[in-house]
Amino acid sequence: MNSTSSFQNTSATGAVRRANAETFAPMSARRLLALGGIGLILVGMLVGDIFAVFVLHQNAAKVGESLSVAAHAAVAGDANAVVGSVQSVGSFLENRGTKVDTHVHMIAFGYLALMLAIVQPWVALRENTKKEVAWIFLFGAWLLPVGVFLIHYVGLAHSPLEAIGWASIFADLGGLLVILATLGCLLGIARRFRQSQRPALDDVLLKDRSAAGRILLAGGLILVLLGLFHGAYYAAADLYRHEVLDYSLLSKMSIAATAKNAGVVDTALGEYGQLAGEKAVNIAAHAHAIEFGLLAMLLAFLQPYVRLRESWKRNWAWLLLLGSLVLPVFVLLELRLGLLAGGIADVGGGLVILALFAMWIGIVRYTGEIDAGYVSMGARG
Amino acid sequence: MSAARRLLIVGGMALALLGMIYGGWYAVFAEHQELDGIGRSLAASFSAAAGRNAAVAQRALEQYRKLKYDYDRHVDVHGHWIGLAMLLMVLGIGLDRVSFSEQMKMLLATALVVGSFLFPLGVLLETLDHGSVPRALAVAGSALVIVSLAGVTLGLLRAETGK
């Protein structure tokens, strides 16, 4: 009896190990999603950093200049110049908006890919189907941001539609593929719930309690909370005031232009630029604190697959959290300290990218020792 | 998988899908039209100012204000539904590390899912009704998310410190 039970236990353990061994094998769905997800986040962050350094401030200055030209053309009574300048404002805003959207969607899809990687054992689909779903997800997750990035350059050229160009159409197709792949995973999870005799999961990612994982999880949760508190404070104290101010400053410009009062127009333009800066830094600080917190929490679960020495894993975890705190704090301080704070915020972003890249290398180096049931003996930092 | 974990993961994925479908619909059917409208109304206002027609300029700016108000909220709803959905999924995955009873975890999970759905919904309803009900819904939803997330953080720290 005992030997039978022991044999059954051994078989069951073997089955679980075999099941687990499949979960992070090369080109498996989980590995594709984990590496693809971190890759998306890394590229999205690099795009964001390049955008912040080379485009954001220059673009904001051009928007301000064009608005100023429009307002002064109104003072001078030149309606044609007004229309041309407002169109320039629209073009600069579209340039800015599509680049922000590229950055945001790449990172968001990267997070979703990491999450889907972690929940893969709960997705009751054949491994081949899971792989196909993962490829569809990753294809869509790249197609959407690339399409969005090209919107500004492709415009409405050769488009069959009146307001939407080819780049937008491909971006929307990318979004549809991501939706379908996510829906596929959700159906797989629902299918597992319906199975009456589902085997218990023995997933090493969920059991891990390493120091690096705990640091990332607790630090990430605190960052998310700080971001939510800041967002709530901003919404309560400034959001509606800023909206009223946006309208009233434009109204002031328009009335002053009608009365040919260039001095008042200039004052209102200055205040409008200040307001735009205030809104931008508050929203950026809120969004980045929450996004970096989520990233830290996701990476906490993937630590068993990061093949680096424990001390190095802890160092990279702390570095990621440090960068994640520095960026939003110094983005907020930009209004007081100017470009110095902006530079420090960029360094914070760089620290996050560096730590994330190190973890990505660690995951690429992972050769399957945990899945195979061996204790890692040869991991090097 | 515990019921609370299931609620967070399945609820999170469903909310992410809702946010994506909403974002897709908005990008195809509303965003470009709204942005065009914002540009047109701003141009019309300054053009009217150039023609010394203050009344037309103000009417156009009023149109700009309405469109900008709706545009900001539509984008926020898409971003917040998906962002909160991802938070729900991550919390679901890590829920076994939270040192609370299953009942308490279920309560926190329910509050998180309900709050994450209601908060952006309230913001979306603000585009249809400028009264206090949508705003109250958004505030209540966000408060639910923050309070329950603080509870989860407390449970995690309890587990870390072994209390």
Beta carbons of A216 and A293 less than 8 angstroms apart:
no
Which amino acid type is present at position A120? Q
Compare all CA atoms of chain A with the CA of B26 and give the residue at the minimum distance. A172
Q: Is A258 on the interface with B (CB under 8 A)?
A: yes
Return the pLDDT at A330.
95
Distance CA A269, CA A71 (A): 9
How deeply is B129 buried, as exposed, middle or buried, from its count of CB atoms within 10 A (0-12, 13-18, 19+)?
Answer: exposed
Give pLDDT tens digits along chain A (381 positions): 344 444 344 444 444 444 444 456 777 898 899 999 999 999 998 988 888 788 877 888 888 889 899 899 999 888 889 888 988 888 888 888 889 889 999 999 999 999 999 889 889 999 899 999 999 999 999 999 999 999 888 888 787 877 778 998 999 999 999 999 999 998 998 888 887 666 666 777 777 788 999 999 999 999 999 999 999 999 989 988 999 999 999 999 989 988 888 899 899 989 988 898 899 899 999 999 999 999 999 999 889 889 899 999 999 999 999 999 999 999 999 888 888 998 899 899 999 999 999 998 998 887 666 655 544 433 433
Structure tokens, A179:
């939706």
Residues B15-62: pLDDT tens digits? 999 998 998 888 888 888 888 898 889 889 989 998 888 899 999 999
Please give the interface size between A and B, counted as residue pairs whose CB atoms are below 8 Å apart. 176
- Cβ distance B20 to A255 less than 8 Å, yes or no, reads no
- Cβ distance B28 to A119 less than 8 Å, yes or no, reads no
Beta carbons of A314 and A211 less than 8 angstroms apart:
yes
Residue A277 C-alpha, separation from nearest chain B C-alpha, in angstroms: 16
Is residue B128 very low, low, confident or very high in pLDDT (cuts 50, 70, 90)?
very high
- Cβ distance A254 to B49 less than 8 Å, yes or no, reads yes
Q: Using a CB-CB distance cutoff of 8 angstroms, which residues of chain A are in contact with residue B152?
A: 221
Distance CA A67, CA B46 (A): 10
Q: Using a CB-CB distance cutoff of 8 angstroms, which residues of chain B are in contact with residue A290?
A: 83, 87
Q: Determine the residue among B93, B108, B130, B160 to mutate to test chain A binding: the one whose Cβ has the most chain A Cβ atoms within 10 Å.
A: B93
Q: Using a CB-CB distance cutoff of 8 angstroms, which residues of chain A are in contact with residue B53?
A: 258
Beta carbons of B94 and A217 less than 8 angstroms apart:
yes
Residues B68-110: pLDDT tens digits? 899 999 999 998 999 999 899 989 988 888 889 999 999 999 9
Residue B151 C-alpha, separation from nearest chain A C-alpha, in angstroms: 11
Return the pLDDT at A374.
41
Return the pLDDT at A23.
59
- Cβ distance A255 to B49 less than 8 Å, yes or no, reads yes
Q: Using a CB-CB distance cutoff of 8 angstroms, which residues of chain B are in contact with residue A189?
A: 9-10, 13
- SS3 for A84-152 is HHHHHHHHHHHHHHHHHHHHHHHHHHHHHHHHHHHHHHHCCCCHHHHHHHHHHHHHHHHHHHHHHHHHH
CB nearest A294 (choices: B36, B45, B90): B90
- Cβ distance B17 to A183 less than 8 Å, yes or no, reads yes
Beta carbons of B87 and B8 less than 8 angstroms apart:
no
Return the pLDDT at A139.
97
Selected residues 91-120 of chain B with any CB under 8 Å from a CB in chain A: 93-94, 96-97
- Cβ distance A300 to B94 less than 8 Å, yes or no, reads yes
Q: Determine the residue among A30, A86, A301 to mutate to test chain B binding: the one whose Cβ has the most chain B Cβ atoms within 10 Å.
A: A86
Residue B103 C-alpha, separation from nearest chain A C-alpha, in angstroms: 21
Return the pLDDT at A372.
58
Selected residues 81-100 of chain A with any CB under 8 Å from a CB in chain B: 82-83, 85-87, 89-90, 94
Q: How crowded is residue B120: how many other Cβ atoms within 10 Å of its Cβ? A: 27
Q: Determine the residue among B40, B87, B90 to mutate to test chain A binding: the one whose Cβ has the most chain A Cβ atoms within 10 Å.
A: B90
